[in-house]
């Protein structure tokens, strides 16, 4: 049985319209997310909800304190990744590098969230860019 | 072997069928949790196949039973009862059931695929909302939601097709004979091949 036959056998007209509607909805949301790009910074939120901003273009390896212990955050070649030492499933580590505005990597048990932001509201000024990191 | 076994109708009481589908859903959930997957929140949600089958075959009450039994039993077995993981699973299951319920209220003839895809999207959305509220506390997670929803759409389609094949197989195999006795609720929709 081909995929088309399987699709025809298992769907009504309403099913096809619903599938299409859902696909358009998801595509629209993705396009909306992609459009939100500009100067890229890394937002690191630790277990105490403290946010640190970091330029994506500046390579650095640092440790952030998580609920289960320290978590290593590595920024390299305009990419960022999270390396967990103690986490039940190491999902953040398995996510690997993220490099585009809007992408998120997180260690939920540790309470660490890393996001690349690119919208103009979060754009860093040249003066801010001279610092290693900004705590807010 | 009884020579008539292939022709005799196979009738199983609806409450027993709920137990069977729940057991299958828990098994699928446990097997799936041990498998590697490409990224966070990209689990295929195979247990939802059996919720869909229960919905199509037995009605919404049975589907709620299967979904909740799956969430509670699998969390008890895995030792995650009342942990954040449990609440993520519960919220996803309830959102999916609610979506299926809303779709079921319409007069549309919706089959397992049409139920599965929106339910899968609702499942993912609810999980991300709960993760944001209970665990992460950071709205940044919503920027990743559209990308998670792509995976949900695909898994929703896959689960819907598998549920449809199971239902067709049951129909051919004789379980659907209980439909003639008024025990199976196909009114909300069916696989297209039934038409």
- My answer on whether A28 and A83 are in the same domain is no
Q: Which residues of B touch A32 (CB under 8 A)?
A: 146
Q: For residue B31, is it within any domain?
A: yes
Q: How far apart are CA B62 and CA B185, in angstroms?
A: 10
Total domains in the fold of chain A: 2
Total domains in the fold of chain B: 1
H/E stretch holding B115: helix B112-130
Residue A4 is predicted with a pLDDT of: 82
Q: How far apart are CA A134 and CA B136, in angstroms?
A: 21
User: Chain B residue closest to A92 (CA)?
Assistant: B40
Q: What is the largest CA-CA distance in chain B?
A: 64
Residue B114, min C-alpha distance to chain A (Å): 4
Q: For residue B163, is it within any domain?
A: yes
CB spacing of A15 vs B103 below 8 angstroms: no
- My answer on whether A73 and A115 are in the same domain is yes
Stretch B91-96: mean pLDDT: 94
Task: Show the tokens assigned to A52.
Answer: 């640190």
CB spacing of A10 vs B153 below 8 angstroms: no
Mean pLDDT value across chain B: 81
Task: Show the tokens assigned to B81.
Answer: 């009862």
- My answer on whether A72 and A130 are in the same domain is yes
Residue A127 is predicted with a pLDDT of: 44
- Name the more confident of A79 and B174: A79
Residue A64's CATH number:
2.60.320.10
Residue B22 is predicted with a pLDDT of: 93
Residue B193 is predicted with a pLDDT of: 44
- Name the more confident of B6 and A115: A115
Q: For residue B2, is it within any domain?
A: no
CB spacing of B143 vs A106 below 8 angstroms: no
CB spacing of A9 vs B168 below 8 angstroms: yes
**Using an 8 Å Cβ cutoff, are A11 and B113 in contact?**
yes
CB atoms within 10 A of CB B181: 9
Residue A36 is predicted with a pLDDT of: 55
User: Chain A residue closest to B120 (CA)?
Assistant: A22
Q: For residue B121, is it within any domain?
A: yes
User: For residue B151, what are the CA distances in angstroms to A26, A27, B45?
Assistant: 10, 12, 11
A43 vs B: CB within 8 A: yes
User: Chain B residue closest to A6 (CA)?
Assistant: B161
- My answer on whether A65 and A9 are in the same domain is no
Q: For residue B5, is it within any domain?
A: no
Sheet hosting strand A79-84, strand order edge to edge: A60-66, A69-76, A79-84
- The residue segments making up the domain with residue B54 are 14-194
CB spacing of B140 vs A115 below 8 angstroms: yes
Quote ipTM for the complex: 0.78
Q: Which residues of B touch A8 (CB under 8 A)?
A: 192
CB spacing of A22 vs B117 below 8 angstroms: yes
User: For residue B97, what are the CA distances in angstroms to B44, B59, B126, B133, B138?
Assistant: 17, 12, 12, 21, 27
- The residue segments making up the domain with residue A99 are 41-135
* pTM recorded for the entire structure: 0.65
Stretch B19-47: mean pLDDT: 83
* From A83-97, B104-118, B128-142, B165-179, the region with the lowest mean pLDDT: B165-179
pLDDT tens-digit profile of A99-132? 888 888 888 888 888 888 875 444 444 444 444 4
CB spacing of A113 vs B161 below 8 angstroms: no
- My answer on whether A9 and A60 are in the same domain is no
Residue B128's CATH number:
1.10.1760.20
Beta pairing, strands A51-55 & A41-45: antiparallel
Q: For residue B9, is it within any domain?
A: no
Residue B185 is predicted with a pLDDT of: 41
- My answer on whether A51 and A94 are in the same domain is yes
């Amino acid at each position: 049985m081909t995929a088309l036959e399987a699709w025809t056998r298992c769907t009504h007209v309403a099913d096809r319209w619903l599938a299409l509607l859902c696909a358009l909805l998801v595509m629209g949301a993705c396009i909306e997310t992609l459009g939100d790009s500009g100067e890229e910074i890394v937002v690191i939120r630790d277990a105490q909800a403290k946010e640190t901003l970091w330029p994506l273009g500046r390579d650095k390896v640092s440790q952030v304190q998580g609920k289960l212990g320290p978590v290593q955050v590595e920024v390299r070649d305009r990419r960022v990744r999270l390396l967990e030492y103690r986490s039940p499933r190491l999902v953040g580590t398995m996510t690997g590098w993220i490099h585009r505005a809007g992408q998120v990597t997180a260690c939920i048990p540790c309470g660490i969230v890393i996001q690349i932001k690119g919208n103009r509201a979060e754009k860093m000024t040249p003066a801010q860019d001279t610092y290693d990191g900004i705590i807010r | 072997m009884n020579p008539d076994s292939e022709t005799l109708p196979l009738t199983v009481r609806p409450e027993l069928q709920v137990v069977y589908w729940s057991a299958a859903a828990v098994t699928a959930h446990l097997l799936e949790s041990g498998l590697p997957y490409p990224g966070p929140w990209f689990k295929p949600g195979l247990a939802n196949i059996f919720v869909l089958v229960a919905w199509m075959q037995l009605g919404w009450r049975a589907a709620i039973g299967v979904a909740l039994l799956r969430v509670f039993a699998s969390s008890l077995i895995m030792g995650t009862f009342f942990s954040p993981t449990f609440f993520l699973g519960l919220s996803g299951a309830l959102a999916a059931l609610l979506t299926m319920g809303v779709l079921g209220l319409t007069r549309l003839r919706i089959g397992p695929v049409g139920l599965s895809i929106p339910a899968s999207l609702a499942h993912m959305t609810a999980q991300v909302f709960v993760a944001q509220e209970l665990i992460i506390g950071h709205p940044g997670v919503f920027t990743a939601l559209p990308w998670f929803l792509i995976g949900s759409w695909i898994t929703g389609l896959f689960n819907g097709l598998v549920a449809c094949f199971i239902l067709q197989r049951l129909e051919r195999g004789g379980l659907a004979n209980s439909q003639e006795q008024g025990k199976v609720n196909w009114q909300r929709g069916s696989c297209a091949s039934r038409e």
